[in-house]
Each structure stands twice: as C-alpha cells, then as structure tokens.
Amino acid sequence: MELINTFISQTIVYTNIYTLVALGILIGGRAGIFNISGEGILLAAASSGFLVSFFSKNWFLGYLAGAFVGAAFGFILVFLHETFKLNQFIIGMALIILGSGLSDLIYNIFGQDLFFPLAPATPVVTIPYVTTIPILSGFIKHNIVIYFMYATTVITWWFFYKTKIGLETRAIGENPKAADVVGINVVKRRYAMTIIGSGLIGIAGAYLSMTLIGTYTMGLAGGRGYMAIGIVVFASWKPERAILGAFLFAAIEVAAYRLQVMSTGVPYQFFLMLPFIAMLIIMIVFKKHIEFPASVGEAYSRE
C-alpha cells in the first residue's frame, strides 16, 4: 500500500506540469490559437521564476514572475498572428528557440555566481485526517500548486461548458466568422485566451524549477512542453480529459525513472524514450476519436 501511495504521489507531482501546460494550450486553442511554444515558455519561466523567488526569498513572487513571462510569450504570439497574419506554428517554433536561449541567458547574467542555489519552499497543504487515508493521500498531500492545478481544471471545464462566455469562445474556435456576425469580438477574445493560457504554462515552468527540482538547470523542461501538445490532441481539447491524459503520461514518466534505477541491464536512454514511445502508440490507437476545433491554427480577418 505504501508503495502504491508513493507512486501516486510522485505521479501527481509530474501531472501538475503536464496539466497546466495542456490547459494553457487548450484555452488558447479553443479561441483558434494553437500555441505550440510550451517548451520555450517552460524554460524561460523556469529561469525567471527561480531567480525572482531566490533573490526575493518569496515563492509566490517566483510563480508570479513565471506567469508574467508566460503571458508575455502569449502576447507576442497572438500579436504577431493577429496583426501580421503570420503562421501560428512558425511563430511558435520561433518562441521555442527564443525561450530556450533566453532562459540560459537570464540565468547566466543574474545567477551565475550563485552557489548551489535553492528556491524557497512552496507551502504544503495538509488536510487533517483526510491526508492520512491510503491512496487518497497520494492525490492530496501536496504543495499548494497541486491544488491550484485541480482548481484550474475544474474552473476551465466550468468556463467552457457552463458559461455564456465560454460557449462564445468555443464558437470562435469552430467558426470565427459566425461568432463575429453575432457581435463577439474575435480578436480581443483570442488575445485574452492566449495570454491567460500562456500564463498557466509559465506557472508550470516556475513549478518545474522552484518546486520539482528546487533550482534551475539547462534544458530542465525535458520535452514536456512537446508532450503536452500530444496530451491536448489526445484529450480532444477537453479539460477533464486533459488532466487524465496528463496523469497517464506522468505515470509512464515516473515508471521510467524507477526502471532506470533497477539493475535491468537495459541502457537508461531506453527508459527516457518510453513516454514519447507511449505517446506515439496512444495517438495511433485513438486517432479515430481525436477532434480539433475547426478553425484552430487559422488566421481570421473580417475583410
């Protein structure tokens, strides 16, 4: 029982990253903006968030900095797309490269003299009696950012399926021209959704360096930004399926780490490949059940 509980707890820790990035992509995508730059945002936000938290000795300011960096990347994406009608995927690739270089640059400028720097601890939430229940404690005995992930997933689902604004946003993702005809400001909504979604990705980046690892290292995103794209596609752009997909791939990643420390005689690089192999297999198996918002990735002009 203790082994299962530990495995679930470790899986939830990684689920947080995948879920926040996936929700960030999903929120923008529902308005027609496919943000593939998650990997770059993760890196830039991880570096910025860690340094702000380290120098300020305040974990909350670190997450705020990560969210701000993510929002800034989202603004750049939607601004270039809506103003100049540039291809979303080309902009996204450019932002990945920008984020990768910017993360190391920021750290080298402000943090190169730090000696074994560690971020301030993120508070852990303990619910009396409940956190002692086997299995269940693996899901809830965590830091406050995990609870933020749970709340964000529920709020995102409620927003898109239970509110008028959410329904309008989904309509933009399906048919922006029809949404424009009935008086919905397509451009403003795309700005808002992309910036908010990118802010969530930035929080995931800050979590990666500040809480998961405790410090910043080069390339710490480890391809999770790319994996999150697959999770969103696998989830057919639905929040409730996104967190389930995130949990699945987080479990595969944790299992791969555990297999690495076992004396199996198999090169450890093989286990590092497992999450990506699993993603390809699942996409092939469920390809007939995958849905996309009809206008995602497409530019819109009123003319």
Domain count, the chain: 1
Q: List the beta strands (DSSP E) in the chain.
A: none
Q: Name the band, by pLDDT with cuts 50, 70 and 90, for residue 115.
A: low
The boundaries of the domain holding residue 60 are 2-289
In a domain, 120, yes or no: yes
In a domain, 175, yes or no: yes
Question: 143 — phi, psi (to 5°)?
Answer: -75, 170
Q: Is the pLDDT of residue 73 over 90?
A: yes
Q: Which residue in 236, 82, 241, 85 sits closest to 170, CA to CA?
A: 236
Average pLDDT (180-200) is 97
Average pLDDT (134-159) is 95
In a domain, 82, yes or no: yes
In a domain, 145, yes or no: yes
Residue for token digits 């601890």? 121
In a domain, 296, yes or no: no
CATH code, domain with 23: 1.10.3470
Express each pLDDT in 238-285 by its tens digit. Answer: 999 999 999 999 999 999 888 888 766 788 778 888 888 888 898 888
In a domain, 303, yes or no: no
Q: What is the pLDDT of residue 303?
A: 65
In a domain, 251, yes or no: yes
Strongest mean pLDDT among 45-49, 109-113, 213-217, 287-291: 45-49
**CA gap 200, 28 in Å, rounded:** 11
Taking all residues of the chain, what is their mean pLDDT, rounded to a whole number? Answer: 92
In a domain, 301, yes or no: no
Q: Burial level of 213, CB count in 10 A (0-12/13-18/19+)?
A: middle
